[in-house]
Amino acid sequence: MKTSNYRMMMIIDVHRRLWIPIICMMIVLFHAGSSGVVAAPMVPAMFVFGDSLVDSGNNNYLSSMAKANYMPYGIDFTGWPTGRFTNGRTIADFLGEKLGLPYIPPYSDPNTIGTRMVDGVNYASAAAGILDETGQNYGQRFSLSQQVLNFQNTVYQLRYQMGGNITQHLAKSIAFLVFGSNDYINNYLIYRPSYTPDDFANLLINHYTRQLLALHSMGLRKFLVAGVGPLGCIPSQRATAPPGSCVNSVNQMLGTLNVGLRKLVAQLNSDHPGAMFVYGNTYGGMGDILNNPGAYGFSITDRGCCGLRSQGDITCLPYSVPCPNRSQYVFWDAFHPTQSVNAVLAQRAFVGPPNDIYPMNVQQLAQF
């Protein structure tokens, strides 16, 4: 009996030894896939500037009320919050994956130093806007101008590491900018300054232009500038409209800004032939999803998966229980899209036609 047991233990041990390297390899492959790493990156780096739509954790380190450092944010990403304002990945995460890059670390993270900056840095900050005063009601945040200064600091550090190679590194990298939503939600629609909607949009474009040119002067040559989506259709705004309706007055005032940004990239391309500026039609992409949700697998468009269900004007509170069918929701909370929507928008930006992304898509921009 002892001999039989001994033989059985030997057989189990042999099988265990055979399976250990296989299991280890599966774990390595799983983590490689989950980190978004691809063997041959299409660009050396991506530098992300913006607001909560692409914040990857910067506001975790700021004195701000605009934070997503609690559950259930991140429930479908790592299983715990990272500072991303959605249930999973942002559009910047998906674009980075498609470009073959690892997840871009937040600038404010003390660990974002040295070689961790080589693949890119994320400067995006929740509540931030094109204007410095935008989002002041939430406390500390990195405005567009401050994010440009933070990038300048990164360039100094990279130059110390890379020497003369940094010129080519920056020229081949992509700058992804997502701004404008807070300039309306947390500025114009609250304080109602004396500007007309058209004058306010032109003010934003003038400020935006100066900062884009500043980034160009520091060595960046490939720019993806996202337009503003239909803010009148986010749950926080729909709470003020009749059931089933968007706030059309809010959506209409965005036209001047989005049209102006599209014209701006054309002008910048004309003025800077060695660079490429691209406009992402976020308004059109989100509008298509909202008008034809079933075509993308969505069924709920008028409220967030997490937050106050009846009105949608309170965002996802700590340890709230989110909806179980998250992939069917367009919005994660009162302001931000779900991971599933971010995936659709990233795909349209990456391979879409000029109606989605002008004058070329991100795949073409990477090869420019």
Residue 120 CA to residue 110 CA, distance in Å, equals 15
Q: Which of 310, 265, 179, 224 is nearest to 43 (CA)?
A: 224
Any idea which residues carry the catalytic annotation? 52, 333, 336
Distances (CA, A) of 67 to 20, 136, 155: 41, 14, 27
φ and ψ at 106, to 5 degrees?
A: -70, 140
Longest Cα–Cα distance of the chain, Å, equals 93
Residue 122 CA to residue 176 CA, distance in Å, equals 9
In one-letter notation, the amino acid at residue 202 is N
- The answer for residues whose C-beta is within 8 angstroms of residue 65's C-beta and 6 or more apart is 138, 139
Strand 276-280 relative to strand 357-358, pairing: antiparallel
Q: Which two tokens stand for residue 106?
A: 């937040």
φ and ψ at 292, to 5 degrees?
A: -135, 55
- The answer for residues whose C-beta is within 8 angstroms of residue 169's C-beta and 6 or more apart is 44, 45, 118, 158, 162
- The answer for residues whose C-beta is within 8 angstroms of residue 230's C-beta and 6 or more apart is 246, 251, 254, 283, 286, 287, 290
Contact between 178 and 328 (Cβ < 8 Å): no
